[in-house]
Amino acid sequence: MVIKAQHVTKIYRSGQLRVEALSNISLEIAQGEMVAIMGPSGCGKTTLLNCLSGLDTIDEGDIYIRGDNLRDLSERERTAYRAQHMGFIFQDFNLLPVLSAVENVELPLLLARVPSQKARRRALEMLEIVGLTERARHRPAELSGGQRQRVTIARALVNSPTLVWADEPTGNLDSTTAGDIMALLLRLNQEQQQTFVIVTHALDIGEQAHRIISMRDGKIV
Ligand SMILES: Nc1ncnc2c1ncn2[C@@H]1O[C@H](COP(=O)(O)OP(=O)(O)OP(=O)(O)O)[C@@H](O)[C@H]1O
């Protein structure tokens, strides 16, 4: 199992308020699986993704990524682990506005000290895979929403992560573009055996995954 969660509870506290966002969640996700996390607004989907990926900490339970208990890793180790083994696709893109598409995509490689020529080659390869070769020199502001999302995907996958986390990857795209993006993720999942965990509201997107994890009120149902 690539991911194993056992009895995970996550509580948000602010002042007197206490929200149990995850209640006693246990799950397993296998290498190469594409899993969709679905459920109504506020049920804890984003929280689950943030906790499983180690972006956020949990209050009770254990999360194992490829056998390593996240609890046993320091903040710095978890950050390094994410940089090496994980890719993130979020809805608000997080692209750097002053960099071109290819510069945005090669950034994770340069941060990992890959030589610049090699990084550029690999970034252009990824842009070709997502069908954006012609837009490589454009900045995010000069791209459409769907094109920006494809740059985000190229950047998330450029260092061949074993695990890819996507939070509403098609959230603000029209249904045709959303379908194209999902087809792209499915193809990459098949070709490269990467594991995908996708949070989505859209049933037509979720149904294309290998498995749907349904949540309600912080629990898996
Ligand atoms: N930083 C926070 N502090 C306090 N409560 C929070 C915080 N983040 C989320 N919550 C609460 O935790 C619960 C789960 O939120 P989460 O964002 O995980 O839900 P979601 O299923 O992703 O929702 P949506 O589909 O609307 O994005 C909600 O009740 C939310 O209000």
- Give the Å distance between the CA of 211 and the centre of ligand 1: 23
pLDDT one-digit tens code per residue, 20-43 = 999 999 999 999 999 999 999 999
DSSP reduced 3-state for 91: coil
- Which residue range forms the structural domain that includes residue 163? 33-46+75-220
68, part of any domain? no
Task: Tell whether ligand 1 has an atom less than 6 A from the beta carbon of residue 19.
Answer: yes
Q: Which residues of 81-91 are buried (b: 16+ CB within 10 A; e: fewer)?
A: bbeeebbbbbb
83, part of any domain? yes
215, part of any domain? yes
183, part of any domain? yes
What lies within 8 Å, CB to CB, of 134 at 6+ separation is none
Counted domains in the chain: 1
156, part of any domain? yes
Task: Tell whether ligand 1 has an atom less than 6 A from the beta carbon of residue 44.
Answer: yes
122, part of any domain? yes
pLDDT one-digit tens code per residue, 123-168 = 999 999 888 999 999 999 999 988 998 999 999 989 889 899 999 9
Whole-number pLDDT of residue 92: 66
193, part of any domain? yes
For the domain that residue 130 is a member of, what is the CATH number? 3.40.50.300
Reported as half-sphere exposure (CB side, CA atoms, 13 A), residue 159 has a value of: 20
Q: How far apart are CA 63 and CA 115, in angstroms?
A: 34
Task: Tell whether ligand 1 has an atom less than 6 A from the beta carbon of residue 216.
Answer: no
24, part of any domain? no
- Give the Å distance between the CA of 32 and the centre of ligand 1: 28
pLDDT one-digit tens code per residue, 66-115 = 999 999 999 899 888 888 889 999 876 689 999 999 999 999 999 889 99
ipTM of the complex: 0.96
- Give the Å distance between the CA of 127 and the centre of ligand 1: 33
Q: What is the pTM of this model?
A: 0.90
